[in-house]
Structure 1
Amino acid sequence: MCKKIVVIILSTILGIVVLAGLGVLIWWLVAGRYSNEVETIILERDGFGNTTYTAAFTRFSGLGEIFWWFFPSSSGTNKPIILFLGGVTGLPHTFLLNFGNIGPLDFNLNEREDSLVTSYNLLFVDGIFGTGFSKSEKSLPIPVNLDDLVKNLVQTLEAFYNNNEEYRNAPLFIYEQGDGAHLAISLAIRLAEDDEFSSQFKGIFLGNPVIAPGLALTKLGFYLEELAMIDGTGRAAVEDFSASVNTLLSEDKLEEAFDKFITLGDFVNDQAGAFAANIGRIVEKLTPESERDYFGQSLYYERVVPANITMKSFMEGVIAPALGISRNVNYDNDRNATVRAFRPIYMTSIADKVETILNSTNVTVTIFNGNLDAVSNTPGQLEWVDNLNWPGKANFTGSFRQTLIINNLIEGYFRETSQLNFYWINVAGQSTLLDNPIATKKMLERITRERN
């Protein structure tokens, strides 16, 4: 009997130990899987003199790291936050827009007197793994599922606010240009639906956006002929090119459509008779030897960046050490892989997502277009804008187009309503902040003031 009792006691103790061990194992697995899934690493180093900033990596276990860089406004925490994300084919905003025009420092690391930071809090995010300082795990391909990318960006924003609590009530706006519109619009929808962000998220700015590239392409022949860049024969050739791209889109051959679309600059110059046109900024003259890349990005680089600076040496050799980035520094190294990864979705029209924002949220959508960008040409942009279906459409299309006059000069035109705005920006190509900062900054001022 005694022996039986001892056995029962030992069995009970063993059972408790096993259950406790199982509990610890489960806790360990869960903790290992989730608690360390997202980690924020604040970068702390000597920095840049008196320039105030927060820079960090938000690390996603098994995926990679997203870099973000925040410059608080000198005018206080209640000023709007403008979030710059970066796109697929362009140069990172953490480099070109930041140091080239709007950040607190120029390429010589001198303070910029006309920086946007005097009026706004600036948050630069290398929003896609493999671009800028952001990087994916080496063994993994660049992820292109927009839902997953948006989830990572939301978690990055949470990390930003967790480290900058005093800015939680500041109005938040997204600013993006070109093909960055895909990610920006998807993020806008998510933020507008999220209780944690919906109250402070006010609007999205989309400059020369790639929204419906096939539709915009149908107006390119007309646009170029009216500018006398091509003749009637060239227009017919461009319209044939457009038709072939749109045929591929109708057949759901998205990657083939993209491969053809990115040859547009060579086609316009070599087969339509323009010969020396930068289709990203049509007024800029080319030589026969000019380098042609994704729609003229290299020419922006040559015009904005000092001749003695190269992007990689500047960001890796100067900026990274000052921020405290000391390991595996390879700035924007996977850009080509990112372009290849986005081939299946680049050409997809996302006009319906703009409709979702207009129909289901209170977020303000501002489209602005440089009149010298042939790729996202203004007539082509207005094609999809005018076809949007939303309750305020009649009010928008019927509203009077006003003239944007600054210092007695006509810098563009605009049409504004309570939720949708369209700005025509004069003497500007695909990057209006670089080409016509006066007009672009005035647009930002008008819209953010009304939504503040």
Structure 2
Amino acid sequence: MMSKKFIIILSVIASALIAGGVGVLIWWLVRENRYTGPFETIILENDAFGDVKYNAAFTRIRDVGDIFWWFFPSSEVDKPILLLLGGIVGFPHSFLLNFGGLGPLDLNLNARNNSLVEDFHLLFVDALPGTGFSRQDDAFKVSNTSDETVDHLMYTLQSFYEANTKYEDAPLYIMEQGDGSLLAIPLTIRLANDTRFSENIKGLFLGNAIISPALALTKLGFYLEELGYIDGLGREAIENFSNTTSHLVSRNLFDEAFDQFVSLGEFVNEEAGAIAVNLAYIVQKITRNSTDSYFGQRSYTQRALLTDAQSFMEGTIAPRLGISDVTYDQHRDSVIEAFRPVYMQPTVENVEYILNNHRNISVTLYNGNLDAVSNTPGQLAWIENMTWYGGNDFKASNRRTLSINRLIEGYYQQYNNLNFFWINVAGHNAALDNTEAVRVMLKMVTSESML
């Protein structure tokens, strides 16, 4: 038998080895930035903008990257949360809708008197890693599948609620525009079917949505000819362009259909005779060489806001938030490339699903009347053909006037949980072009006065 002294010595050595091993394990976990759960929350600076209250963070998702979110609470806790996600080809909303017109600060970092934060808690999320301040672990590994993307957003919302527990019972509305609908719609469905969030999610707002883009395109020739931008030959050229796009979609050649679709601005201006037309805001006067950047949307936004998004967010905002070593919107091209195979797939059935299966969730579609890409006649083509329980009643309902301070800012039509708003003097970025009309629309729907 071993002596008692020898047993004690072995015990001491074993304890040292175990302690050392644990120490090495902890060192390795810290060094490699590993963690046991699917995500962790990295809280950023929270007192960098004077009297404006906010909190911001990265939700670090294992093997994916960091998703940035920025929360501005309203002065009253019982207000709804308005969640604003980013899209695929446009500007991130941490810049565009935040500083462009809806957030509490303007581009000079002065308090905005008419911010939506008066009526809503605003939660801006750079939803796709590689866009905005969000970063991806692998620039060449970008998910475009609905399930994975929604998984990441669900982790982000869990991260947000854990850091903001007093808002966990607040009504939640998702607001998106353009191709942000590709993220907003499946996220709404997941939230509605998840018992943890099904009581929170109350509605979905989609502006100038990319939901059935090939079908909407079939009305573009008619739309531009009626406005006098093209003649009969131009309309014929655009209709041929539209037919080619629809044919590619019908054959499930979605990559080729995307390439065709995003060349629309160049085609309309070079082949259909509508010289210098900005399809995102057709009344804007532009030069012949201003039609690039996906329908002219990005160039229009830069001129409208009179600032460079990347330099502003990197040079002014990032240091105040304590974000270092960042290139804002660094991998947007990788995100666009990843979504090429799914961008043109119609998602009308998902809207139908929400309307039919979650009647307590409002679906509000709104359209700027000066957007040619998601033109209003084209949007109504798929909306009026949807298969849902209230389809006939919706089409039979009266269109009402949206009057604000005795000015006609638009019109709306409603039946049960579906609303459609025509927004006057607004293009693809309707929330910025006619902020007051969109503000009134949001308040009408969220107050449940329309339900």
Which residue pairs with 2:432 in the alignment?
434
Instruction: Indicate whether 1:215 and 2:212 are aligned.
Output: no
Structure 1 residues not aligned, in runs of 5+? 4-16
Which residue pairs with 2:392 in the alignment?
394
Which residue pairs with 2:96 in the alignment?
96
Cα separation, partners in 2 of 1:139 and 1:219, compared to 1, 3 Å: closer
Which residue pairs with 1:374 in the alignment?
372
TM-score, scaled to structure 2: 0.91
Contact 2:209–2:374, Cα closer than 8 Å, also in 1 = yes
Query: Deviation per CA, 1:48-78, whole angstroms, max 9, x where unpaired?
Result: 111100100000111101000000002x111
Question: SS state of the match for residue 422, structure 2?
Answer: strand
Query: Deviation per CA, 1:99-141, whole angstroms, max 9, x where unpaired?
Result: 1101110011000001111111000000011110001113542
**One-letter identity of the residue aligned with 1:248:** L
Instruction: Indicate whether 1:332 and 2:333 are aligned.
Output: no
Give the Å deviation of 1:47.
1.1
**One-letter identity of the residue aligned with 2:54:** Y
Which residue pairs with 2:12 in the alignment?
none
Query: Deviation per CA, 1:189-217, whole angstroms, max 9, x where unpaired?
Result: 00000111111110000000000011111
Give the Å deviation of 1:374.
0.7
Q: Quote the Cα distance in structure 1 between the aligned partners of 2:264 and 2:423.
A: 23
Q: Quote the Cα distance in structure 2 between the aligned partners of 1:33 and 1:117.
A: 36
Query: Deviation per CA, 1:152-192, whole angstroms, max 9, x where unpaired?
Result: 10111011111111111111000000001011000000000
Which residue pairs with 2:349 in the alignment?
352
Instruction: Indicate whether 1:409 and 2:400 are aligned.
Output: no
Which residue pairs with 1:10 in the alignment?
none
Give the Å deviation of 1:45.
5.4
Contact 2:89–2:294, Cα closer than 8 Å, also in 1 = yes
Q: Quote the Cα distance in structure 2 between the aligned partners of 1:104 and 1:33.
A: 36
Q: Quote the Cα distance in structure 2 between the aligned partners of 1:292 and 1:255.
A: 19
**One-letter identity of the residue aligned with 1:378:** T
**One-letter identity of the residue aligned with 1:314:** F
TM-score, scaled to structure 1: 0.91
Query: Deviation per CA, 1:299-322, whole angstroms, max 9, x where unpaired?
Result: 33233323xx42222111110110
Contact 1:278–1:284, Cα closer than 8 Å, also in 2 = yes
Which residue pairs with 2:421 in the alignment?
423
Contact 1:367–1:421, Cα closer than 8 Å, also in 2 = yes
Q: Quote the Cα distance in structure 1 between the aligned partners of 2:177 and 2:408.
A: 23
Question: SS state of the match for residue 66, structure 1?
Answer: strand
Contact 1:129–1:143, Cα closer than 8 Å, also in 2 = no
Which residue pairs with 1:11 in the alignment?
none
Name the Cα RMSD after superposition. Answer: 2.4
Which residue pairs with 2:79 in the alignment?
79
Q: Quote the Cα distance in structure 2 between the aligned partners of 1:139 and 1:394.
A: 47
Which residue pairs with 2:62 in the alignment?
61
Which residue pairs with 1:341 in the alignment?
338
**One-letter identity of the residue aligned with 1:343:** R
Contact 1:81–1:121, Cα closer than 8 Å, also in 2 = yes
Question: SS state of the match for residue 380, structure 1?
Answer: helix
Alignment of 1:271-350 (within 5 A): 271-306=271-306, 309-326=307-324, 328-350=325-347
Q: Quote the Cα distance in structure 2 between the aligned partners of 1:394 and 1:33.
A: 54
Q: Quote the Cα distance in structure 2 between the aligned partners of 1:324 and 1:237.
A: 52
Structure 2 residues not aligned, in runs of 5+? 3-14, 27-32
Aligned length: 430
Cα separation, partners in 2 of 1:397 and 1:291, compared to 1, 3 Å: closer
Question: SS state of the match for residue 345, structure 1?
Answer: coil
Q: Quote the Cα distance in structure 2 between the aligned partners of 1:77 and 1:115.
A: 16
Contact 1:370–1:432, Cα closer than 8 Å, also in 2 = yes
Q: Quote the Cα distance in structure 1 between the aligned partners of 2:260 and 2:316.
A: 38
Question: SS state of the match for residue 388, structure 1?
Answer: coil
Contact 1:291–1:298, Cα closer than 8 Å, also in 2 = no
Which residue pairs with 1:13 in the alignment?
none
Q: Quote the Cα distance in structure 2 between the aligned partners of 1:300 and 1:274.
A: 17
Which residue pairs with 2:53 in the alignment?
52
**One-letter identity of the residue aligned with 1:350:** T
**One-letter identity of the residue aligned with 1:232:** G
Which residue pairs with 1:114 in the alignment?
114
Alignment of 1:221-300 (within 5 A): 221-300=221-300
Q: Quote the Cα distance in structure 2 between the aligned partners of 1:363 and 1:111.
A: 33
Q: Quote the Cα distance in structure 1 between the aligned partners of 2:196 and 2:176.
A: 22
Which residue pairs with 1:42 in the alignment?
43
Q: Quote the Cα distance in structure 2 between the aligned partners of 1:96 and 1:145.
A: 25
Query: Deviation per CA, 1:282-314, whole angstroms, max 9, x where unpaired?
Result: 1111222325211222333233323xx422221
**One-letter identity of the residue aligned with 1:352:** E
Question: SS state of the match for residue 175, structure 2?
Answer: strand
